[in-house]
Amino acid sequence: MFDLLLQILRNYGLIGVFLSSFFGNVTPYFGIPYLFFIVEYSSIVETNLYSILLISLMGGLGSALGKLILILVIRPLRRVLPEHYLIEFAKFRRIFDRGLFTAIFLFAALPLPDDVLYVPIGFSQYSLIKFSLAVFLGKFIIVFISTVFGGSVNFAFSGNIILSGTVSFLLSLLVFLIILKFDWDKFSLAVGDHGWLGALRMVLRDFSSFWR
């Protein structure tokens, strides 16, 4: 598979960047470390600001399309979840609606296992337009950095798909558990009475009182 993607990049240039970014993001947890292929591609072609921007654009678009398809596949699975689980996801989305865009962007722009965040968001019915835009902007940045720094960039877990996927999957389960078992009604009231910082301090001081 790795040799095939490298061949696609070399033969198809920017289309190869798009395809490798798409396939690297459409599969949850055990996705192909596409950034290494972009680093490889940037090391074998002549780059300038214009070409770097084009590579970043194609990488961002391919990544965003891959994550969008992933979310569209996840959403119908809501039907098999008990109703009270869906209610908790809705509360989570309402409370953090504005912050979710920033979180999605940061997970896309940094070498983080982003499916940890994106899979649970898929169940929350967050805006697909906002989600895709945040992913595109973040992936544009990380592809840009990968292209500029070339082979000198080393991303955590990227060299070991099994380790990366396993860690991401376990962290996603943890996020699911927190969303489902956390008392979002109580937290929302605490935010209204004490503000965000005050509510977070209350959670840190006595987490068990917010855990159901």
* Tens digits of residue pLDDT in 165-176: 465 556 556 665
Q: Is the full-model pTM beyond 0.95? A: no
Lowest mean pLDDT among 8-17, 110-119, 155-164: 155-164
Phi-psi region of 150 (alpha: psi -120 to 50; beta: other; left: phi over 0): left
3-state secondary structure of 71: helix
**pLDDT tier at 14, thresholds 50, 70, 90:** confident
Tell me the residue type at 185: D
Give the closest residue to 129 by CA, choosing from 92, 107, 110, 104. Answer: 104
pLDDT recorded at residue 139? 93
3-state secondary structure of 182: strand
Let me know the angle formed at the C-alpha of 25 by 23 and 44, rounded to the nearest 5 degrees.
60
Distance CA 62, CA 20 (A): 8
Query: In sequence order, what E strands does the chain have?
Result: none
How many residues make up the chain in this entry? 212
The pLDDT of residue 157 is above 50: no
**pLDDT tier at 57, thresholds 50, 70, 90:** very high
Cβ atoms < 10 Å from Cβ of 191: 16
pLDDT recorded at residue 170? 64
